[in-house]
Amino acid sequence: MSDVPDQPDQSDPSLRLLWRHRAGVREEPKTKRGPKQKVSVDEIVDAAIDLADAEGLAAVTMRAIAQRFGLGAMTLYSYVPNRDALLMLMADQVTGRAELPELPEDPRKRLELVANLTHDELRAHPWLLEVQDVRPWLGPNMSDRYEWQLQAVEGLGLSDLEMDQTVAVLIGFAGNIARSELMKRRAEQVTGMTESEWWEANYDTLSEVMAGAHYPLANRVGTAAGEAYQAASDPARELDYGLARIIDGVLAHVGRRSTGAADELS
């Protein structure tokens, strides 16, 4: 009824939850009545991370986590507003586990480090690939990570915008490799065969079904891949190859600029 600044707090409540440990979060002046909470948000998030690591993100159900603490499922909702928020907290918390090594002098090594760190992390916690596409949440550990990533591309001669975009390309590429590794592992798990076993088991069907279709390049390339690795793909080598090309491109770009050529981006 009044025009008092009664703004309904448009701000995202998840932010305070994400930054709960860092200085600056003012404790809300809550009365301390009521039972003490039996566990902490961190314990819950850690348990959820462990569960996701061990059995995949699908196994991270509210009921399963609660059970780990001997709690009722609904009890979790006094710690965390909902499952999506929990996933967000998991993502930030697991990001905080990796220590960020000092950056080497050599520009190529710096960029490789950024990509490899992301890749290793996603291999250890593949469920991050499924979580990430909620939002690039601004948690404290994600922010630390981003700052570190920017340090890796600082001083190369890139514009501010290009620094951000370069980081995005690198970690995006690392994510793609990790994703293809995950797919491969899952396919083996689901079918119960290795990749080469699958090809063997389906060779007859494939050639029957593809009779009349002509894939000269795909056949040649597929054969080459099958001989080089003994599978259709080898993510580790894909990582090396693609990363080298991307870094080549970035370094060529800044090199070209520093020798006085035109640049097309602000």
79 binding DNA? (CB under 7 A): yes
Q: Which is nearer to DNA, 84 or 248 (CB)?
A: 84
265 binding a copy of itself? (CB under 8 A): yes
Of positions 1, 26, 32, 260, contacts a copy of itself by CB under 8 A: 26
CA distance 266 to 263: 8
236 binding a copy of itself? (CB under 8 A): no
Minimum CB–partner distance for residue 177 and DNA (Å): 28
Of positions 10, 34, 54, 70, contacts a copy of itself by CB under 8 A: 10
Collapsed DSSP state (helix, strand, coil) of residue 40: coil
71 binding DNA? (CB under 7 A): yes
Position 64, amino acid: A
Position 257, amino acid: R
Closest CA to 239 of 170, 174, 179, 183: 174
Closest CA to 80 of 35, 126, 48: 48
Minimum CB–partner distance for residue 31 and a copy of itself (Å): 22
Applying CB under 7 A, the span of 16-24, 61-69, 121-129, 140-148 interacting with DNA comes to: 61-69
73 binding a copy of itself? (CB under 8 A): no
Of positions 40, 78, 202, 219, contacts DNA by CB under 7 A: 78
Position 166, amino acid: T
116 binding a copy of itself? (CB under 8 A): no
Collapsed DSSP state (helix, strand, coil) of residue 145: helix
Of all residues in the chain, what percent are helix, strand and coil, respectively (each to 5)? 65, 0, 35
* DSSP-assigned letter for residue 233: -
Neighbours of 213 (CB within 10 A): 7
Name residues contacting a copy of itself, limited to 209-228 (CB under 8 A): 209-213, 215-218, 220-221, 223-225, 228
Applying CB under 7 A, the span of 35-43, 108-116, 194-202, 232-240 interacting with DNA comes to: 35-43
Burial of 7 (0-12, 13-18, 19+ CB in 10 A): exposed
Binding site for DNA (CB under 7 A): 30-39, 60-64, 71-75, 77-79, 82-84
